[in-house]
Amino acid sequence: MENNKLMKLTLKIWRQKDAKAKGGFETYQVEGISPDTSFLEMLDILNNKLIHEGREPVAFDHDCREGICGMCSLYINGKAHGPDSEITTCQLHMRKFKDGDTITIEPWRSAAFPVIRDLVVERQAFDKILQAGGFVSVNTGGVPDANSIPIPKADADESMDAAACIGCGACVATCKNGSAMLFVAARVSSLAKLPQGRVEAQRRAKAMVAKMDELGFGNCTNTGACQAECPKGINIAHIARLNREFLSAKFKD
């Protein structure tokens, strides 16, 4: 029965009007929170309370609430997506906290992800990287249909593992340099292991790395923090493949 005890919590939440405004932490109290409540539902309860008090609700990003879309990008008690492994914020439940805890909630901290409002950041930089080369063009030539090309299971599995990246940005927010290498590597790897992706492999690696650098993301120093905090467990071995793809392309130039 003790595990079902309702919780009272103190929330220190970053509030910021927009990217140019000076933000700061504000403290709120919530109570009657079930341990089975999800983290985002707890924020919903807080916002309902604030609205009824005539106060401005906290802006935070969300969509599917199923760990698929990657929008619930929150830094919770110093960890991307909070104190659990291989989950997104919407999959985090309040049983990971204790009654009376103080929880600090912040937006992603990266120059490439400016704050839009409160806990919401602009992650359009990831879209621009994908637009630079994270795709297979329709004009790549007479490539046979996908289901007619035998692909070794190991390659298919590796491609699918890389494709599991949801582009949430936890890797960037966690990296001390704000690097997007894990995200870019996952996108490159997911296509590099498939025949359809090899047609544009050289152009893809160069274009995506160039766009990443242009947008102000930092360099990778192989500390592994990105892998540790990735909600989908994307392995940093994909960064090694990105480096090989990039160097091979530059060498052929």
Q: Residue ranges of the domains in the chain? A: 2-117, 123-252
The 8-class DSSP code of residue 167 comes to: -
- Asked whether residue 124 carries a pLDDT value surpassing 60, the answer given is yes
- Residue 78 makes CB contacts below 8 A (sequence gap 6+) with 104
CA dihedral 117→35→173→236, nearest 10 degrees, is -150
Q: What percent of the chain has pLDDT over 90?
A: 82
Indicate the CATH number for domain 2-117: 3.10.20.30
- Asked whether residue 119 carries a pLDDT value surpassing 80, the answer given is yes
- Asked whether residue 72 carries a pLDDT value surpassing 60, the answer given is yes
Predicted pLDDT at 3:
60
Round to whole Å and give the CA distance between 149 and 193.
13
Specify whether the CB–CB gap between 110 and 169 falls below 8 A: yes
Burial label for 198, CB within 10 Å (0-12, 13-18, 19+), is: middle
Predicted pLDDT at 251:
87
Tell me the average pLDDT across 40-59. Answer: 98
Q: How confident is the model at residue 141 (pLDDT cuts 50, 70, 90)?
A: low
Specify the fold of 123-252. Fumarate Reductase Iron-sulfur Protein; Chain B, domain 2 (1.10.1060)
Predicted pLDDT at 147:
67
Round to whole Å and give the CA distance between 64 and 244.
35
- Asked whether residue 13 carries a pLDDT value surpassing 80, the answer given is yes
- Residue 65 makes CB contacts below 8 A (sequence gap 6+) with 38, 40, 72, 90
Same fold, 2-117 and 123-252: no
